[in-house]
C-alpha cells in the first residue's frame, strides 16, 4: 500500500477520498486553487499545495502543476476523483512518466473508452449490444437517416454536458452547433456522435472492478433514470426493474466490456434499457473513473470502492470472486446542487451562512461544505450527496426524504426541497422510472410560492431586532423582549402577525446556544441566521428563502429594474461566452442575442420584443453577476403603441 497519495480534485470527492486514506493510515495531499484556499478538503488533508488561480484551466486542469505538487510532497500516487483530469489519458500518462501511480485504468484504456465512437466499436466486437447511431463527419446525414428523435453526444466526455435531444430535425444544425460549443468548452474536443433516442428508457449502469492480474468482477447495478437535462439527480441500488437473470446477463456484458480494453481499477459500464423489455439493453458508454453515485454500491455490497482503487493501483489482486458478491438491502442517493429550482434550476452561489447536514441510522452525507464556504460559478454546482440505506427500498426512500428535510445550507439556494418532493412522487415510490420522468413532472415538483409562515417568521425576527436596538446604541438587557431568564433556556417570545393576503398567525421565537427556533402556528422552521445586510434566510423541509427588507421609495430612487422591460439581465453569476449582436442592430422578438455560461451550463439570452439594441455592456469572456444588466433592447415606437 502507498504511504502518501495526492488527491487531484476538490469539494466533496476530495473529502471522500481523504476519508479512506485516513482510515488506511495513508498520508493525504490536497491541491487547491486560490478560490479554494480555505476549502474543507484543504483543511482535512495532511498537507495542501496551491496549484494556481481560478479558472480550472490554470489549476485543477493543469497536469503539469499537479505532477509538480506530487513530486514536491513525496506522493507516490495520484487519485483523480471524478471530473477535471479523471478521464484524461494524457494526465494518466504524465503521472506514469513521472513515476507516480495513477489510481485508475491505464492511459490506453482511458483513451479507448473516452472516445465513445471507438468504445462502441470495441465492445460491439466483444459481443456487447450497442445503440444504433452515427458519427462525425457524416453526423447530420446519420441523424436524418436515423430519424427523429435523436441524441447528440460529445465523443470525448460524459456527465450530460453537451448532450442534446433533437425531436425536430429542422433545428438540427443549430443543435449541433450548440452541442459542439458545449463539448469544446467542457472537454476541449467538439467531436460528436448521434444515437437513436429511445422514448421513456431506463438508464442502468454496472459497477466493475478489475485488477492487474486478470480478475474482473461486477458489483451489481445502479438505477440512474431520474435525470434532468441528462444529468443524474437520484441514483439507487439495486434497480427494481431487473430480475436475477437480466442482472447476471448485464453484469456479464459489463465484465466483457471491461476485458475488451484491458481495464484496471473501478469503472462503470452504462446501458440504455427499454422499460418494457429489460432484456433489450444496449451499451452506451464506459466511465473510466469512480462515479458520483458510488456510495449506493458501497452500502449494498459492504465494499469501500476507494480502498479497492488504491489496492488495485498498488498491485494487489482482488480479494474476492464474483460468487462472493452479494447485494443486501437498498440504497438511494440524492445530489445536492447549488441551483435554484424556482428560477428554472439556474446555478446559484453565495456564502454558506449556516450548515446542517443530516446524520442518523442509515444516513450518510458526502460533502465538501463547511460554514463560510464561498460557492461560486467557477466549478461544478454539486455540493454534497445525501445517501440513505435500509433493509428495503421503502425504508431507504423514507430515510432519504427525512434526511433532505433536515438539510440546511442557508446563504446558498439548493435543490434539497425539490429532491425531497421528487422522492415522494407516486411514480418514484412505485419504481416506475424513466429518464424523462423528471422533465415531465418538474412543474409540480418546484415550489415557487413562499409560504405565509416564512414572511411571518421573518417579520417576527425583524420585530425583535427593532425592539432590542437602542436609539443611542445601548439597550437595557433587562428590557429586551428576548425571553432571557436566569439559570435556564430563554422563554419563547410571542408575536401576532399578518402577512399580506393571509390570516393572522402566531409566531413564537427563542434563541438558544444551538440557534434560533421559530414556531409559526405550532409548525417549526429550521434555524435562521441573519446576514450582514439585515436580511434573513429561513429553511423548512429542505427549501430555503432569503427574505429581504423592501422599501418601495428607496427602490424607486435607486432605479431597481433600471432599463425597464427592454433590459436583459444575467439570470445567474457566470461568464458571457457568445455575443451575437452589436449596438444599433435591429432584432426580432425571441431572437438569441447572448449566451451566459455558469458551471458548464449555457443559458441563452433572447430579445423580449422586436426593437433596436441601444446598450451592450459585455463581450465574450466578461464575468457577470446575477441580475447584472447585459444589454437593452428599445422597442420600436409603433409596436410599443
Q: Inter-axis angle of helices 89-97 and 63-73, to 10 degrees?
A: 30
CATH class for the domain made up of 4-103: alpha beta
pLDDT value of position 558:
45
Going by pLDDT thresholds of 50, 70 and 90, the confidence category of residue 562 is very low
Nearest CA among 570, 571, 561 for reference residue 617: 570
* Beta carbons of 222 and 283 less than 8 angstroms apart: no
Going by pLDDT thresholds of 50, 70 and 90, the confidence category of residue 85 is very high
Cα–Cα distance for residue pair 452/467, rounded to 1 Å: 23
Q: What is the mean pLDDT of the chain?
A: 91
* CATH (residue range 132-196): 3.30.1490.20
* Beta carbons of 628 and 570 less than 8 angstroms apart: yes
Q: Model confidence over 217-234: pLDDT tens digits?
A: 999 999 999 999 889 999
Within 162-260, residue ranges assigned H as helices are 172-187, 244-260
* Beta carbons of 388 and 400 less than 8 angstroms apart: yes
As beta bridge partners, residue 166 has 150
Q: Please determine, for residue 468, whether its predicted confidence score (pLDDT) is greater than 60.
A: yes
Contacts of 121 (CB under 8 A, 6+ apart): none
Structural domain spans, the chain: 4-103, 132-196, 203-229+244-445, 452-549, 558-640
Query: Which of 147-151, 311-315, 371-375, 568-572 has the least mean pLDDT?
Result: 568-572
As beta bridge partners, residue 494 has 508
- Residue bearing the bigger pLDDT, 118 or 472: 118
For residue 71 the three cell numbers come to 513530486
Q: Please determine, for residue 560, whether its predicted confidence score (pLDDT) is greater than 50.
A: no
Q: Please determine, for residue 404, whether its predicted confidence score (pLDDT) is greater than 90.
A: yes
Nearest CA among 324, 125, 75, 330 for reference residue 209: 324
Cα–Cα distance for residue pair 635/322, rounded to 1 Å: 68
pLDDT value of position 435:
94
Q: Model confidence over 415-454: pLDDT tens digits?
A: 999 999 999 999 999 999 999 999 999 999 997 788 878 8
Q: Model confidence over 352-364: pLDDT tens digits?
A: 999 999 999 999 9
> What three-state secondary structure class fits 242?
coil
Give me the mean pLDDT over the 463-484 stretch.
67
DSSP 603-637: EEEE-SSSEEEEEE---TT-EE-TT-EEEEEEEPH
Going by pLDDT thresholds of 50, 70 and 90, the confidence category of residue 186 is confident
* Beta carbons of 284 and 272 less than 8 angstroms apart: yes
The full length of the chain comes to: 641
Nearest CA among 428, 340, 331 for reference residue 386: 331
Nearest CA among 388, 389, 353, 393 for reference residue 370: 353
pLDDT value of position 513:
75
Residue 366 exposure: Cα atoms within 13 Å on the Cβ side: 24
DSSP 113-125: HHSHHHHHHHHHH
Contacts of 404 (CB under 8 A, 6+ apart): 334, 358, 386, 416, 417, 419, 420, 423, 542
Q: In the chain, what are the helix, strand and coil shares in percent, each to the nearest 5?
A: 30, 30, 40
Q: Please determine, for residue 533, whether its predicted confidence score (pLDDT) is greater than 60.
A: no
* CATH (residue range 558-640): 2.40.50.100
pLDDT value of position 627:
79
Percent of the chain with pLDDT over 90: 70
Phi/psi class of residue 640: alpha, beta or left (left: φ > 0; alpha: ψ in -120 to 50)?
alpha
DSSP 19-85: HHHHHTT-EEEEEEEGGGTT-HHHHHSSEEEEEE-SSGGGTTT-HHHHHHHHHHHT-SEEE--SSTT
Place of cell 502507498: 2
* Main-chain phi, psi angles of 86, to 5 degrees: -60, -35
Q: Inter-axis angle of helices 139-146 and 172-187, to 10 degrees?
A: 130
* Beta carbons of 386 and 365 less than 8 angstroms apart: yes
Q: Please determine, for residue 310, whether its predicted confidence score (pLDDT) is greater than 60.
A: yes
Going by pLDDT thresholds of 50, 70 and 90, the confidence category of residue 187 is confident
Q: Model confidence over 573-583: pLDDT tens digits?
A: 888 999 999 99
Burial 332-355 (b: 16+ CB within 10 A, else e): bbbbbbbbbbbeebbbbbbebbbb
* Main-chain phi, psi angles of 454, to 5 degrees: -65, -45
Regarding the domain delimited by 203-229+244-445, which CATH topology (the fold level of the hierarchy) does it fall under?
D-amino Acid Aminotransferase; Chain A, domain 1 (3.30.470)
Burial of 140: CB neighbours in 10 Å, binned 0-12, 13-18, 19+: middle
* Beta carbons of 330 and 300 less than 8 angstroms apart: yes
pTM of the model: 0.86
Cα–Cα distance for residue pair 182/180, rounded to 1 Å: 6
Cα–Cα distance for residue pair 35/415, rounded to 1 Å: 23
Q: Model confidence over 3-49: pLDDT tens digits?
A: 999 999 999 999 999 999 999 999 999 999 999 999 999 999 999 99
Q: How many other CB atoms sit within 10 Å of the CB of residue 470?
A: 10
Cα–Cα distance for residue pair 458/536, rounded to 1 Å: 7
For residue 233 the three cell numbers come to 439527480
Going by pLDDT thresholds of 50, 70 and 90, the confidence category of residue 378 is confident
Place of cell 433516442: 197
Estimate to the nearest angstrom the gap between the alpha carbon of 1 and the chain centroid.
Answer: 32
Amino acid at each position: 500500500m502507498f504511504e502518501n497519495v495526492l488527491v487531484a480534485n476538490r469539494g466533496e470527492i476530495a473529502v471522500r477520498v481523504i476519508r479512506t486514506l485516513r482510515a488506511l493510515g495513508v498520508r493525504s495531499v490536497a491541491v487547491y486553487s486560490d478560490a479554494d484556499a480555505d476549502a474543507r478538503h484543504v483543511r482535512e488533508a495532511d498537507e495542501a499545495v496551491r496549484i494556481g488561480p481560478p479558472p480550472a484551466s490554470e489549476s485543477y486542469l493543469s497536469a503539469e502543476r499537479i505532477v509538480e505538487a506530487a513530486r514536491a510532497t513525496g506522493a507516490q500516487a495520484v487519485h483523480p476523483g471524478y471530473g477535471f483530469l479523471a478521464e484524461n489519458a494524457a494526465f494518466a500518462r504524465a503521472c506514469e512518466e513521472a513515476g507516480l501511480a495513477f489510481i485508475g485504468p491505464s492511459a490506453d484504456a482511458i483513451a479507448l473508452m473516452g472516445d465513445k465512437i471507438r468504445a462502441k466499436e470495441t465492445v460491439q466486437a466483444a459481443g456487447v449490444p450497442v445503440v444504433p447511431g452515427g458519427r462525425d463527419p457524416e453526423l447530420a446525414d446519420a441523424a436524418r437517416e436515423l430519424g427523429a428523435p435523436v441524441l447528440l453526444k460529445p465523443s470525448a466526455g460524459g456527465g450530460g454536458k453537451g448532450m442534446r435531444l433533437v425531436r425536430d430535425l429542422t433545428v438540427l444544425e443549430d443543435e449541433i452547433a450548440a452541442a459542439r460549443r458545449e463539448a469544446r468548452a467542457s472537454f476541449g474536443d467538439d467531436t460528436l456522435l448521434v444515437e437513436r433516442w429511445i422514448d421513456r428508457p431506463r438508464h442502468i449502469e454496472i459497477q466493475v472492478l478489475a485488477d492487474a492480474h486478470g480478475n474482473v468482477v461486477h458489483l451489481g447495478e445502479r438505477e440512474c433514470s431520474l435525470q434532468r437535462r441528462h444529468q443524474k439527480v437520484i441514483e439507487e441500488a439495486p434497480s427494481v426493474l431487473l430480475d436475477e437473470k437480466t442482472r447476471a446477463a448485464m453484469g456479464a456484458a459489463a465484465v466483457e466490456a471491461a476485458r475488451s480494453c484491458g481495464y484496471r481499477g473501478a469503472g462503470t459500464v452504462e446501458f440504455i434499457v427499454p422499460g418494457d423489455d429489460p432484456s433489450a439493453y444496449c451499451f452506451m458508454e464506459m466511465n473510466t473513473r469512480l462515479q458520483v453515485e458510488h456510495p449506493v454500491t458501497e452500502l449494498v455490497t459492504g465494499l469501500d470502492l476507494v480502498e479497492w482503487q488504491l489496492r488495485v493501483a498498488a498491485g494487489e489482486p482482488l480479494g474476492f470472486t464474483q460468487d462472493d458478491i452479494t447485494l443486501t438491502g437498498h440504497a438511494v442517493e440524492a445530489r445536492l446542487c447549488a441551483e435554484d429550482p424556482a428560477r428554472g434550476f439556474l446555478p446559484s452561489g453565495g456564502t454558506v451562512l449556516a450548515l446542517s447536514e443530516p446524520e442518523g441510522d442509515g444516513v450518510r452525507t458526502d460533502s465538501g461544505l463547511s460554514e463560510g464556504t464561498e460557492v461560486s460559478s467557477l466549478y461544478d454546482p454539486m455540493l454534497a450527496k445525501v445517501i440513505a440505506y435500509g433493509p428495503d427500498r421503502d425504508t431507504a426512500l423514507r430515510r432519504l426524504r427525512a434526511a433532505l428535510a433536515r438539510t440546511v445550507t442557508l446563504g446558498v439556494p439548493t435543490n434539497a426541497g425539490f429532491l425531497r418532493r421528487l422522492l415522494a412522487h407516486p411514480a418514484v415510490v412505485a419504481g416506475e422510472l424513466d429518464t424523462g420522468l423528471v422533465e415531465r413532472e418538474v412543474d409540480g415538483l418546484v415550489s415557487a410560492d413562499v409560504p405565509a409562515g416564512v414572511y411571518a417568521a421573518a417579520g417576527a425576527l425583524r420585530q425583535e431586532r427593532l425592539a432590542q436596538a437602542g436609539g443611542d446604541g445601548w439597550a437595557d438587557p433587562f428590557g429586551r423582549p428576548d425571553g432571557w431568564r436566569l439559570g435556564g433556556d430563554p422563554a419563547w417570545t410571542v408575536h401576532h402577525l399578518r402577512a399580506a393576503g393571509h390570516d393572522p398567525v402566531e409566531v413564537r421565537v427563542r434563541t438558544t446556544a444551538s440557534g434560533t427556533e421559530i414556531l409559526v402556528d405550532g409548525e417549526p422552521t429550521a434555524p435562521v441566521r441573519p446576514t450582514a445586510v439585515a436580511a434573513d434566510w429561513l429553511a423548512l423541509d429542505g427549501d430555503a428563502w432569503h427574505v429581504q427588507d423592501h422599501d418601495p421609495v428607496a427602490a424607486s430612487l435607486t432605479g431597481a429594474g433600471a432599463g425597464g422591460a427592454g433590459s436583459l439581465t444575467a439570470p445567474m453569476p457566470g461568464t458571457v461566452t457568445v455575443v451575437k449582436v452589436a449596438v444599433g442592430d435591429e432584432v426580432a422578438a425571441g431572437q438569441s442575442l447572448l449566451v451566459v455560461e455558469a458551471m458548464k451550463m449555457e443559458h441563452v439570452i433572447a430579445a423580449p420584443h422586436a426593437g433596436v439594441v441601444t446598450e451592450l455592456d459585455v463581450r465574450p469572456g466578461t464575468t457577470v453577476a446575477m441580475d447584472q444588466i447585459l444589454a437593452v433592447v428599445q422597442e420600436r415606437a409603433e409596436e410599443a403603441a
